[in-house]
Chain A
Amino acid sequence: MRPRRQKIIKLRRKAETKMTAIILVVIVVVAIAAAVYYLQFARKPVKTIKIGYVAPFTGPAAEFGTNGWRGISIALEEINEEGINIGGATYKIEIIRYDDRCEPSEAAAAARRLILEDKVVALLGSHCSSCCMAVAPLCDEYKVPGITIECAADAVTSPGHEYYFRMRPSMGLMAPLITPVIVEKLNPSTVAFIAVDDDYGRSFVESFKTELSKSNVETVYEAYFERGTTDYYPYLTSIKSANPDICFYVGTTPEGALILSQARELDMIPGIKFIGSEEMGEYELVKLAGNETVEDTYAISLWAPNPKIEELAAKVKEKFNAPMHYAIVFGYDALYVLVEAIKKAQSLDPVAIKNALDTIEYDGLEGHIKFEDFEVDGVQYLNQGRWVPYLIVWHNGDKELVG
Chain B
Amino acid sequence: MTSEIIWIQLFNGITLGVIYALMGMGLTLIWSIADLPDFSQGGIYIISAYSAYFAIILLNFSYFFAIPVAIITGMAISVTFERLLYTRLRASPNAALLCAIALFFLLENIAVYLWTPKAKIMPSPTKDMILYFAGIPVSFQRILIIIVGVVLFIVINVFVKKTKIGKAIMATAQDREAAALMGINLEKVYITTWALGGALTAIAAALISPLYAVYPGMGTLPLLKGLVVVILGGMGSFIGALVAGLILGLIETFGSVYISVAYQHGFAFIILLLTLVIRPQGLFGRR
- Chain A interface residues (CB < 8 Å from chain B): 223, 225, 228, 230-231, 233-235, 237-238, 240-241, 254-255, 257-258, 261-262, 264-267, 288-290, 292-293
What is the 8 Å Cβ interface bit string for chain B, positions 172-213, against chain A (1 contact, 0 not)?
Answer: 000000000000000000000000000000000000000111
A230 contact set on B, CB distance < 8 A: 211-213, 218
Given the interface contacts A223-B261, A257-B121, A265-B139, does A228 sit within 8 Å of B217 by beta carbon? yes
Q: How far is the CA of A297 from the CA of B261 in the complex (A)?
A: 25
Q: How far is the CB of B164 from chain A (nearest CB, A)?
A: 41
Q: Contacts A254-B118, A257-B121: A234 and B257 contacting too (C-beta < 8 A)?
A: yes
Please classify how large the interface on chain B is, using the bins under 10, 10 to 19, 20 to 34, 35 or more. Answer: 20 to 34
Q: Mark B130-166, 1 if CB is under 8 A from A, else 0.
A: 1000000111001000000000000000000000000
Residue of B nearest to A234 (CB): B256
| B127 close to chain A: CB less than 8 A | yes
B59 interface contact, C-beta 8 A = no
Q: Are B121 and A288 in contact (CB under 8 A)?
A: yes
Query: In whole Å, how far is A240's beta carbon from the nearest beta carbon of chain B?
Result: 7
Query: Which has the most chain A C-beta neighbours within 10 Å: B5, B16, B261?
Result: B261
Collect the chain A residues with CB atoms within 8 Å of residue B256's CB.
234
Q: With A and B bound together, what is the CA distance between A190 and B127 in angstroms?
A: 30
Q: How far is the CA of A262 from the CA of B130 in the complex (A)?
A: 11
Q: Is the CB of B257 within 8 A of A237?
A: yes
- B8, B120, B127, B257: the one within 8 Å of A266 (CB): B8
Residue pairs across A and B with CB atoms within 8 Å: the count is 71
- Judging by beta carbons under 8 Å apart, are B12 and A228 in contact? no
Chain B nearest Cβ from A287, distance in angstroms: 9
- B261–A235 CB distance below 8 A: yes
User: How far does the alpha carbon of A345 sit from the alpha carbon of B217 in the complex, in Å?
Assistant: 54
Interface residues of B in 202-242 (CB under 8 A from A): 211-213, 215, 217-218
Q: Given the complex of chains A and B, what is the CA–CA distance between A223 and B262 in angstroms?
A: 9
Minimal beta-carbon separation of B135 from chain A (angstroms): 9
| B127 and A265 contacting across the interface, CB-CB below 8 Å | yes
Contact of A234 among B119, B137, B264 (CB under 8 A): B264
Interface 0/1 of B46-83, CB less than 8 Å to A: 00000000000000000000000000000000000000
Q: Are B257 and A261 in contact (CB under 8 A)?
A: no
* Prevailing SS type, chain A contact patch: helix
Known contacts A225-B261, A234-B264, A257-B213, then 6 further A-B pairs from the complex at CB < 8 Å, ordered by chain A residue: A230-B211, A234-B261, A240-B8, A241-B1, A254-B118, A265-B127
B1 to chain A, nearest CB (A): 6
Residues in chain B near residue A267, CB distance under 8 A:
130, 137
Question: A241 contacts B218, CB within 8 Å?
Answer: no
Cα of A262 to Cα of B211 in the assembled complex, Å: 7
Partner of A231, one of B123, B130, B217, B264: B264
Closest CB in chain B relative to A399 CB, distance in Å: 20
Contact indicator A237/B8 (Cβ below 8 Å): yes
Q: Which residue of A lies closest to B7 (CB)?
A: A237
> CB within 8 A of A264: which of B2, B8, B9, B128?
B128
Q: Is there a chain A Cβ closer than 8 Å to B32's Cβ?
A: no
Whether A241 touches B5, Cβ cut-off 8 Å, given contacts A231-B212, A234-B253, is yes
Do the beta carbons of B215 and A228 come within 8 Å of each other?
yes
Enumerate 18 A-B pairs (CB-CB under 8 Å) in ascending A order: A223-B261, A225-B261, A228-B215, A230-B212, A231-B16, A233-B8, A234-B257, A234-B261, A237-B9, A237-B12, A254-B121, A255-B119, A257-B121, A261-B127, A262-B211, A265-B127, A265-B142, A266-B137
Chain A residues with Cβ below 8 Å from B218 are 230
For residue A240, which residue of chain B has the nearest CB? B5
- Nearest A residue (CB) for B8: A237
Q: How far is the CA of A190 from the CA of B1 in the complex (A)?
A: 17
Are B137 and A258 closer than 8 Å at their CB atoms?
Answer: no
Which B residues are in CB contact (< 8 Å) with A258?
119, 121, 212-213
Q: How far, in whole Å, are A238 and B261 apart by their CA atoms in the complex?
A: 10
Chain A residue with the shortest CB-CB distance to B129: A265
- Across the interface, which residues of B come within 8 angstroms of A254, CB to CB? 118-121, 213, 215
The docked-state distance in angstroms from the alpha carbon of A292 to that of B9 is 25
User: How far apart are the CA atoms of A241 and B142 in the complex, in Å?
Assistant: 21
Please list the 9 inter-chain residue pairs (A to B) with the smallest Cβ-Cβ separation, ordered nearest first: A230-B212, A254-B119, A234-B256, A267-B137, A265-B139, A234-B261, A233-B12, A241-B5, A288-B121
State the CA gap A225–B8 with chains docked (Å). Answer: 20
